[in-house]
Amino acid sequence: NHYSNRIQRKAELLVWTTKTLYHCSKRDLDNYFQKGGGMCLYNMPNMKDLVGGKKCGNGFVEDGEECDCGEPDECTNDCCNANNCTLREGAQCAHGVCCHACKLKQAGTMCRGPAGSCDLPEYCTGASPYCPANVYLLDGSSCQYGKAYCYNGMCLTHEQQCLQLWGYGAQPAHDACFEDVNAAGNAFGNCGKDEHGNYKKCEKSDAKCGKIQCHSAAKKPKGTNAVSIDTTIKTGGIEVKCRGTYVYSTQDGQGDLPDPGLVMTGTKCGEGKVCRDRKCQNASFTELESCLANCHGNGVCNSNGNCHCDRGWAPPFCEKPGLGGSVDSGPVQNNNQVGLVVGLLFAFLVVLPAVLLLFYCYRVKTSFYHKWISQREQNKKNKYCLPVMSSVCLSITVFLISLDTKHPRDLRFHKHFVSPNRLTDICQILNIGHRLKLQELLTTVLTTGLWPVIWPEARLMIIHQSAVV
């Protein structure tokens, strides 16, 4: 049926034998897809090819049906009427990754992310519940920082293939390994087979398109029926170890399947060259160059030969402002999302820093804000403390002068704790009232012994000023 054919094509893409595919783990398949393999498997199957014809209740949405959730007794879809395969009242959709809670997702919502460096994302269109057909970078597009070219949606390198065959830490062997081993023209070193089924020797220029040669510390290649073919060669007076792979086939009639130990078609074998038909051939990028010229430097080319525009440029030719994306994969984002992005940027770049600054000023005692508040309070207190201290000093002076003129004996009596020098020092202290608080003033008066002397004259003024403060 349709799905078995799809699986068979998947097997051919994986270049494994049927037996190997049978034992292949889901993890290996997922890893293969993440690298860009099996691109056609992401597309919707053609419902016209289904065996048995159209039927409401078979689980496939066919011509004339709005939805199909299976038989009525097995349908669990709240958006679909199982009896006649129509949408329930108020529902816009029932199936598809661009359908949520019976409503179409907004245009620009990503529905399929890139599976690798050579794949492109797809976005909901806002008009269909299904994700657009999968597209990828046009063959010949640069990838792996210019070390490789995209081919059928995959970025193929010798390094990647060594990792797939040998696991972590594997690297391509010296060029001399490819040239020496693949010149043998046998099962362990060749450039494929001829029309008679005989192994072909590789020309020196084609050596990197034959059997892959790697360096690896692993005991054996990955795979139950794969064995290591180890060779040691001398180049420039130095011994170099080469490790190839041979996969045993236990079934007849599999000689036409590609050898998984061969370098994959599309792998870069030189500047402007790729492996094709086991030869290192000039890569013709005419279609790519023509397409890129139409994109005005604001996008890349997809597998349909159309421009996939960067954000901010409109398809089909990326020369006008727009939302990005392509005519094949949908818009990158809609206007609402643009507003959301702007709002988030404003929040993170303006509002959040302002909130953090206010929090710092409020909580941290050494902040400028706290210093400013402290200085303001100090100035406010000094405004009222200074008159008090000045009044006290004046009271002291007047009182002592009166003692000196009217009661000399009293002056002499007080000289044991009040001398002219001490009086001068005290008044100097009191005159710098902007540095003293009221409490400090009172402490100064008490410690100098002046309290009993000036109290009758100054107490009313001090009480009044204290109440004001």
In this predicted model, what pLDDT tens digit does every residue of 337-350 receive, in sequence order? Answer: 555 556 666 666 77
Contact call for residues 307 and 319 (beta carbons, < 8 A): no
- pLDDT value at 399 more than 50: yes
Average pLDDT, the chain: 76
- pLDDT value at 401 more than 60: no
- pLDDT value at 64 more than 70: yes
Read off the tokens for 73.
């007794």
At 114 the pLDDT is 93
Instruction: Please spell the DSSP secondary structure of 112-157, one letter per residue.
Output: E--SSTTB--EE--SS-SSPPPP-BBPTT-EEGGGTEEEETTEE--
In this predicted model, what pLDDT tens digit does every residue of 2-29 receive, in sequence order? Answer: 334 434 434 344 443 444 444 456 655 5
DSSP for residue 6: H
* Rg of the chain (C-alpha set): 44
At 273 the pLDDT is 92
Q: CA-CA distance, 279 to 400, in Å (whole number)?
A: 118
Paired sense of beta strands 80-81 and 86-87, if any:
antiparallel
Q: For residue 12, which phi and psi values (nearest 5 degrees)?
A: -65, -35
Is the preceding omega at residue 258 within 30 degrees of 0, hence cis? no
- pLDDT value at 72 more than 90: yes
At 42 the pLDDT is 57
Is 239 exposed, middle or buried, given 0-12, 13-18 or 19+ CB atoms closer than 10 A? exposed
Please tell me whether residue 351 adopts helix, strand or coil conformation: helix
Kindly report which listed range (43-47, 220-224, 225-229, 230-234) carries the lowest average pLDDT score: 43-47
Instruction: Please spell the DSSP secondary structure of 251-289, one letter per residue.
Output: STT-TTSPPTTBPPTT-EEETTEEEETTEEEE---HHHH
- pLDDT value at 117 more than 70: yes
Output the CA torsion sign for 130, 121, 298, 345. positive
- Residue from 59, 35, 45 nearest 133 by CA: 45
Q: What's the pTM? A: 0.59
Average pLDDT on 75-103 reads: 96
Q: CA-CA distance, 213 to 263, in Å (whole number)?
A: 9
Q: Which strands sit side by side in the sheet containing 325-326, from one edge to the other?
A: 299-301, 307-309, 325-326, 330-331
Read off the tokens for 225.
């029926």
Output the CA torsion sign for 198, 204, 210, 212. positive
Please tell me whether residue 317 adopts helix, strand or coil conformation: coil
Confidence at 286, pLDDT banded by 50, 70, 90:
confident
At 405 the pLDDT is 45
- pLDDT value at 266 more than 50: yes
- CB neighbourhood size of 141 (10 A): 22
- pLDDT value at 412 more than 60: no
Read off the tokens for 6.
């799809």
CA atoms within 13 A on the CB side of 226: 21
- pLDDT value at 288 more than 60: yes
- Residue at 297: amino acid letter: G
- pLDDT value at 185 more than 80: yes
Spell out the domain ranges in the chain: 2-95, 142-284, 370-468
In this predicted model, what pLDDT tens digit does every residue of 413-448 receive, in sequence order? Answer: 343 344 444 444 445 544 444 444 445 555 555 555
- pLDDT value at 158 more than 90: yes
What are residue 282's DSSP bridge partners?
273
In this predicted model, what pLDDT tens digit does every residue of 189-229 receive, in sequence order? Answer: 999 999 998 999 999 999 999 999 999 999 999 876 788 99
Cβ neighbours for 340, distance < 8 A, ≥ 6 positions apart: none
At 15 the pLDDT is 41
At 20 the pLDDT is 46
- CB neighbourhood size of 243 (10 A): 24
At 349 the pLDDT is 72
- pLDDT value at 1 more than 90: no
In this predicted model, what pLDDT tens digit does every residue of 123-138 receive, in sequence order? Answer: 999 999 999 999 999 9
